[in-house]
Amino acid sequence: MNKLKDQCGRRGERIFSNLCILPSLAGVLIFFLIPFGIVVYYSMINNPIVHEFVGFDNYKKLFTTVAFQKAAKNTAAFSLVSVPLSVILSMALAVMLERNIPGKSVFRTFFLSPLMVPTASVVLVWQVLFHAHGTINQIIEKFGGTGIDWIKSPHGQIIIVAMFLWKNIGYNMILFMSALAGIPRDILEVAELEGAGKWYQFVHIKLRYLSPTILFVLILSLINSFKIFREVYLLTGDHPFDKLYMLQHFMNNTFNSLDYQKLSSAAVLFSLIMIVIMAILLIAEDIFGKDVEN
Amino acid sequence: MTKRQKTKTANILFTVFAAVAALMFLMPTVLTIANSFMTSNEISANYGAMISNFTDNKKTFISENVNLKFIPDKVTLAQYNSVLLKSPDYLLKFWNSVILTVPITLFQMIVAIFTAYGFSRYPNKIKGLIFFVYIIVMIMPYQVTLVPNYLVSEKFGILNTRWAIILPGIFSPFSIFLLTKVMKRIPNAYVEAAKLDGASEFQILTKIHLPLCKGALVSIAMLVFIDYWNMVEQPLVLMKDSALHPLSVFLSQINAGDIGLAFAVGVVYMVPTILMFLYGEDYLVEGIVYSGGIKG
């Protein structure tokens, strides 16, 4: 009898926990998922007036669009460089600040300060730094080199990689610091006693405990690598030089030219790639997750 | 060298390196604040070369170089005077930012509290799937959700109103993702103990989960606030009427126009985030108890 009551109670609790999700689910459905379904539909019709089903024609057209090819290439290159870089650098900084160095908390605040500055003001500063007659070129020229017009150069992506790292490393570093603090001390002490060097400790012990955080920071960095477009856009406008032309530029411009078919297929394609990446990361989590537990 | 000396030298090296790196990170903040106390002429002289139409203005001397300048020749509050007293436009835009960002942050947090609780208790396959979908929605850059957002706003007749930005913002799943991971780490023993005392599920949420998540809630709210405080793309697409635009959009346009005021406006716009930092930095640091990973 008691067991039955317990089960009924359990059921009520289950229902409550399910109900908790409903409002958000309704919102996500209305504002993101259902309209996204319409986008998928748009990507398969010829135009919004005739509504004729054309299968994958829009996708074929998209792939042959030069602007899309360029944008996809630039975005992929940027994310492939900047995301791993931000993970590695922020982890390195966290390990460094883990040491007993003075003024640690001040440094921490400094590293977090990019979160405070309004995006537009930051862009202004970056303009000063990377201008053809700006600070970086002045420094280069002082050492006898010749400056270049960074924004219009083939090295333009350096600017956004730098902007991205500057903005995001601080927070990622904090995530790593809290993960480092969570590593059981006794394991490290045993390793120390057995004469394991710092490097050995890092690779064989710390890195294992950090692996969930690495995955987490990877995802945050991926999201933020797409958000950095805001800065790029403010820096360069609608039609930047070659190397700075990102997928988001392409989407913005096709939106402004009302080419919904092309835009929809680009959006769907992008989502598919993200789903694949996330699925891979989830599998990786299962593998590494078990590794730490053992 | 003994081992001890070695560590000491290493520590000094690391300190120097960390200090240099930290100063580089702080530089834009300092620059923005320092330059806000310069006269408009000094700013145009230093940065005018960045803006082509400025060279037409023969009255001010404009250096061909763009110079990074930290210390004003003459400290003045002239910029602030223009921003805060002379043109009410800036304060109006500031208010526009507040009226968009505060409701989004507040209600996104409320939605997140319930949803994260739902996800963290009694996990099952369907919840797992929904959570995965949320992660995908969360990763999407704004340009992908641009068309969906536009379509919905049009359908509901909220296009060109603030609701077009506020409503999707409230249901954006970012904070749910973070908060779910935090709530999943709450030891089951607490919940069981509360249940023995006869606590209902709702009471478990309010009496156990919420107090334990306080730091995380503050830190997530800060991240959400900062993100929307700096929004640029959404208002440009969803609100044609520039009178409704937040200061973040305006600030990005002022760079090209009245650069002499850009820094002071930037500082004024920074005030809420600085205050938040003063109050919440420790939360931001300690609130991070996410174990990492994806599923939590």
Between CA B63 and CA B256 the distance in angstroms is 17
Mean of all residue pLDDT scores within chain B:
86
* Residue B294 confidence (pLDDT): 65
- The distance of Cα A75 from the centroid of its chain, to the nearest Å, equals 12
B139 touches A: beta carbon within 8 Å = yes
Looking at CA atoms only, how far is residue B77 from chain A in angstroms? Answer: 18
DSSP for chain A, written as a single string: -HHHHHHHHHHHHHHHHHHHHHHHHHHHIIIIIHHHHHHHHHTTBS-TTT--B-TTHHHHHHHH-HHHHHHHHHHHHHHHHHHHHHHHHHHHHHHHHHS--TTHHHHHHHHHGGGTS-HHHHHHHHHHHHSTTSHHHHHHHHTT-----GGGSTTTHHHHHHHHHHHHHHHHHHHHHHHHHTS-HHHHHHHHHTT--HHHHIIIIIHHHHHHHHHHHHHHHHHHHHHTHHHHHHHH-SS--GGG--HHHHHHHHHHTT-HHHHHHHHHHHHHHHHHHHHHHHHHHHHHHHHHH-
Residue B73 has pLDDT above 70, yes or no: yes
Tell me which H or E stretch contains B248: helix B247-254
Helix axes A34-42, A260-293, angle to 10 degrees: 130
| Amino acid at the residue A265 | S
CB of A83 within 8 A of CB of A161?
no
Minimum CA–CA partner of B137 in chain A: A32
Work out the pLDDT band at B55, boundaries 50, 70, 90.
very low
* Residue B54 confidence (pLDDT): 42
CATH no. of B86-291: 1.10.3720.10
Residue B50 has pLDDT above 80, yes or no: no
Mean pLDDT, residues A159-166 taken together: 93
Mean of all residue pLDDT scores within chain A:
87
Looking at CA atoms only, how far is residue A113 from chain B in angstroms? Answer: 6
Work out the pLDDT band at A1, boundaries 50, 70, 90.
very low
Cβ B284–A112 below 8 Å, yes or no? yes
Of A138, A226, A234, nearest to B141 by CB-CB distance is: A226
For A73, the token pair is 């290439």
* Residue B176 confidence (pLDDT): 96
Domain ranges of chain A: 1-42, 59-293
CB of A160 within 8 A of CB of A81?
no
Of B27, B233, B259, nearest to A230 by CB-CB distance is: B233
Of B19, B227, B288, nearest to A174 by CB-CB distance is: B288
Work out the pLDDT band at B62, boundaries 50, 70, 90.
low
Domain ranges of chain B: 3-81, 86-291
Of A23, A110, A179, nearest to B111 by CB-CB distance is: A23
- ipTM for this prediction: 0.89
Looking at CA atoms only, how far is residue B99 from chain A in angstroms? Answer: 17
Minimum CA–CA partner of B132 in chain A: A278
Residue B32 has pLDDT above 80, yes or no: yes
Mean pLDDT, residues B29-57 taken together: 74
Which pLDDT tens digit goes with each residue over A99-152? 877 888 888 889 999 998 998 888 888 888 888 888 888 888 888 888 888 888
A121 touches B: beta carbon within 8 Å = yes
pTM of the predicted model, to two decimals?
Answer: 0.90
Between CA B168 and CA A31 the distance in angstroms is 6
Minimum CA–CA partner of A276 in chain B: B136
Residue A294 has pLDDT above 60, yes or no: no
Minimum CA–CA partner of A14 in chain B: B122
* Residue B60 confidence (pLDDT): 46
B264 touches A: beta carbon within 8 Å = no
CB of A150 within 8 A of CB of A158?
yes
- What is the biggest distance separating any 2 CA atoms in chain A, rounded to whole angstroms? 88
* Residue B290 confidence (pLDDT): 60
* Residue A6 confidence (pLDDT): 55
Looking at CA atoms only, how far is residue A158 from chain B in angstroms? Answer: 16
Cβ A115–B291 below 8 Å, yes or no? no
A200 compared with A34, residue with greater pLDDT: A34
Cβ A27–B66 below 8 Å, yes or no? no
Of A121, A227, A255, nearest to B146 by CB-CB distance is: A255
* Residue A202 confidence (pLDDT): 86
Cβ B230–A230 below 8 Å, yes or no? yes
CB of A138 within 8 A of CB of A128?
no
* Residue A161 confidence (pLDDT): 94
Residue B16 has pLDDT above 80, yes or no: yes
* Residue B58 confidence (pLDDT): 42
* Residue B1 confidence (pLDDT): 58
How many C-beta atoms surround the C-beta of residue B231 within 10 A? 22
Q: What percent of chain A has pLDDT over 90?
A: 38
Name the nearest CA neighbour of A254 among B147, B140, B8.
Answer: B147
Q: Dihedrals φ, ψ of B59, to 5°? A: -65, -40
B11 compared with B124, residue with greater pLDDT: B124
Minimum CA–CA partner of B277 in chain A: A116
Residue B118 has pLDDT above 90, yes or no: yes
Cβ B118–A248 below 8 Å, yes or no? no
Name the nearest CA neighbour of B66 among A157, A147, A119, A120.
Answer: A147
A109 touches B: beta carbon within 8 Å = yes
* Residue B103 confidence (pLDDT): 98
Cβ A102–B293 below 8 Å, yes or no? no
Residue B57 has pLDDT above 70, yes or no: no
Residue B181 has pLDDT above 50, yes or no: yes
* Residue A83 confidence (pLDDT): 96
The region of weakest confidence among A210-214, B86-90, B116-120, B200-204 is B86-90
* Residue B53 confidence (pLDDT): 44
End-to-end CA distance of chain A: 40
Cβ A215–B266 below 8 Å, yes or no? no
Mean pLDDT, residues A45-63 taken together: 87
Name the nearest CA neighbour of A74 among A249, A206, A222, A212.
Answer: A249
B151 touches A: beta carbon within 8 Å = yes
Looking at CA atoms only, how far is residue A243 from chain B in angstroms? Answer: 19
* Residue A126 confidence (pLDDT): 87
Residue A173 has pLDDT above 90, yes or no: yes
Cβ A31–B171 below 8 Å, yes or no? yes
Of A16, A212, A223, nearest to B201 by CB-CB distance is: A16
Minimum CA–CA partner of A256 in chain B: B237
Pick the residue of A124, A152, A225, A277 with the most B CBs within 10 A to test the interface with B by mutation.
A124
Of A27, A36, A114, nearest to B148 by CB-CB distance is: A36
A18-47 residues touching B, CB cutoff 8 A: 18-21, 23-25, 27-28, 30-33, 35-36, 38-39, 42
Looking at CA atoms only, how far is residue B60 from chain A in angstroms? Answer: 18
Q: Which CATH class is domain A59-293?
A: mainly alpha
